[in-house]
Amino acid sequence: MNQNEFQTKNILGTQPVGKLLVQYAVPSVVSMVVMALYNIVDQIFIAQGVGYIGNGATTAAFPLITVGLALALLIGNGSAAFISLELGRGNTDKVQRTLGNALLLLTCAGILLMGITFLFMEPLLRMLGATDAIMPYAVDYVTYIAAGFPCIIISTGLSNIIRADGSPRYSMAVNLVGAGLNTILDPIFIFALGMGVKGAAIATTISQMVSFALSIFYILKKAHYVRFLPANLQPDGTVIRQILTLGSSNFITQMSITVVNVVLNNSLAYYGALSSYGAEIALSALGIVMKINAIFINIILGVVIGAQPILGFNYGAGNYARVKRTYQTEISITFAIALLGNLLFVLRPEIPLSLFRDANPVFNEFAAMATRIFLCCVFSAGIQIPSANYFQAVGKPFKAMILNMARQLLILVPCILILPLFFGLKGVLYAMPLTDLLALFITLFFIVRELGHLGRSQKLPASGLGEPEAIGN
């Protein structure tokens, strides 16, 4: 099949955008919510079996998990974006080499993170905000989570490649199986076997191993366009550079979240200890608020990830009108979701918090207040997230990087450090809505200019992504 024939027959370039976005976004939304539920389910059962001290341990450990996700998205999303662009150009040989190099990078990343975590576990947890009361539980939890890092990183990375290969439903099924198994195993290990937070970690790791096996099976037996060949495991500098370039936005986003979590955890512990609530309540409650927010954000990310292959393929094929139509359809959906979530968090925070209620009324009081304040401007995510991802999908990772870094590092971290000097513990909570509003204005500046120029000034190279015009920023 020649390049023109391939582009004409691929549904990404021919089906109605609305129908195609639903086809890709629904499985992606389910997959992303399922990923968030891995931690949420742990929190729910730990809250019932151990209490808020146990949830404080998972909050302290969460930045390590975020690092693993960052590595998986760096390689997985970068590979998926590159594969979509090259499928649009009809370069199937480069697609195969991308898969092999992605598998190599994912495996190395998983082993490296596991080794570092085991070597420096307690110092890392102390740096991440674990107090003396929380530390034993955090060590129990991280010991077993770290053992599963290679499987977690590989399965998460491959899920993006499977989606780019044209199988969003299989990607969804992989995550559903893992989450379902985790939900079954959690109460068995936590309650029946009396293993507490250690049991929650073991359940999560076993579930991720099953997802890993299903992902590998797809690559070996069911793939459509990507084909695994052992020869493609040989490092290809050009392909690796493109993978890392296109995935850099997601990586920086997740690593920024890690930095934010470190600063946030330590600020909560410090200012919480100075307040009437105490360090452990502040740390645990806001950890739960952030997990609730993660479900909401992952719904938006699901729509965004579902749109990415459509954007990338059509940009690679030069169909700029279709690119713009896809973005406009995508953002109308994500903004509506964001607005509904915002209303829920501000008006009825007790509804999402009901699964995590503790016997301590002070904990419940702080959790409700934190939800109202911390998440009062999350409507901005409905514009900021799809806009940043748009730039990554069309091969402009530098602009995506700027948008994500501005929000996490350049605005949120300074706000977390400065506002508590004037408002105490509440200042930590005020940092998020202020950041959301400032990040929204920056995003609008970039995306309005981009859409105005789309199709008028881009110069599309005949093949490859290594030429400046293709990755110009």
* Token pair for 376: 């009062």
Q: H or E segment at 399?
A: helix 397-405
pLDDT recorded at residue 66? 83
Q: How far apart are CA 95 and CA 166, in angstroms?
A: 13
| Count of other CB atoms within 10 angstroms of residue 133 | 12
CA–CA distance, 159 with 157 (Å, rounded to integer): 5
User: Which of 157-161, 218-222, 383-387, 398-402 shows the lowest mean pLDDT across its residues?
Assistant: 398-402
pLDDT at residue 5 is higher than 60: no
Average pLDDT over residues 411-440: 94
Confidence (pLDDT) at 2 = 46
For 364, phi then psi, to 5°, come to -65, -35
Continuous segment of H or E residues that includes residue 189: none
**What is the structure's pLDDT at 142?**
94
Specify the pLDDT at position 10: 64
173 CB-side CA count, 13 A: 10
* pLDDT category of residue 470 using cuts at 50, 70 and 90: very low
**What is the rounded CA–CA span in Å between residue 321 and residue 416?**
41
Radius of gyration of the chain (CA): 22
Q: Is the pLDDT of residue 473 over 60?
A: no
Residue 95 CA: distances (Å) to CA of 156, 157, 165, 229, 232: 19, 15, 10, 11, 10
Two tokens, residue 69: 């996700």
CA–CA distance, 258 with 62 (Å, rounded to integer): 8
What pLDDT score was predicted for residue 462? 38
Give the position of tokens 């969003």: 168
- Report helix, strand or coil for 229: coil
Residue 321 has pLDDT above 90, yes or no: no
pTM (global) more than 0.75: no
pLDDT reading at 15 higher than 80: no
pLDDT in tens, 209-267: 999 999 999 988 887 778 787 887 888 888 899 899 888 777 877 787 778 888 998 89
Of the chain, the percentage scoring pLDDT greater than 90 comes to: 34
Residue 335 burial (C-beta neighbours within 10 Å; 0-12, 13-18, 19+): middle
Listing DSSP states for 94-159 in one string gives HHHHHHHHHHHHHHHHHHHHHHHHHHTHHHHHHHTT--TTTHHHHHHHHHHHHHTHHHHHHHHHHH
Average pLDDT over residues 289-296: 84
User: Which residues make Cβ contacts (< 8 Å) with residue 340, sequence separation at least 6?
Assistant: none
pLDDT bin (cut points 50, 70, 90) of residue 420 is very high
C-alpha dihedral sign at 342, 346, 347, 352: positive
258 within 8 A of 124, measured Cβ to Cβ: no
Arithmetic mean of pLDDT over the chain: 84
Q: Mean pLDDT throughout 90-99?
A: 82
Question: Residue 463: phi, psi to the nearest 5?
Answer: -160, 160
pLDDT mean over 400-423: 87
pLDDT for 215 equals 93
**Contact status, residue 358 vs residue 364, Cβ threshold 8 Å:** yes
- Residues contacting residue 27 through CB under 8 Å, at least 6 positions apart: 163, 168, 169, 171, 172, 306
Q: pLDDT for 166-206, tens place per residue? A: 887 888 888 889 888 988 999 999 888 989 889 989 998 99
Which residue did the predictor score with more confidence, 321 or 12? 321
Q: By the 8 A CB rule, do 228 and 103 touch?
A: yes
Q: What's the full length of the chain, in residues?
A: 473
437 or 160, greater pLDDT:
437
**CA 101 from centroid of its chain's CA atoms:** 22
**Token pair 């981009």 is at which residue?**
450
Say what the pLDDT of residue 71 is. 92
Phi and psi for 276 in degrees, rounded to 5?
-75, -10
What is the rounded distance in angstroms from the CA atom of residue 317 to the CA atom of residue 326? Answer: 14
- Do residues 212 and 155 touch, judged by C-beta distance below 8 A? yes
Q: Which helix (H) or strand (E) element contains residue 406? A: none
User: Residue 360: pLDDT band by 50, 70, 90 thresholds?
Assistant: confident
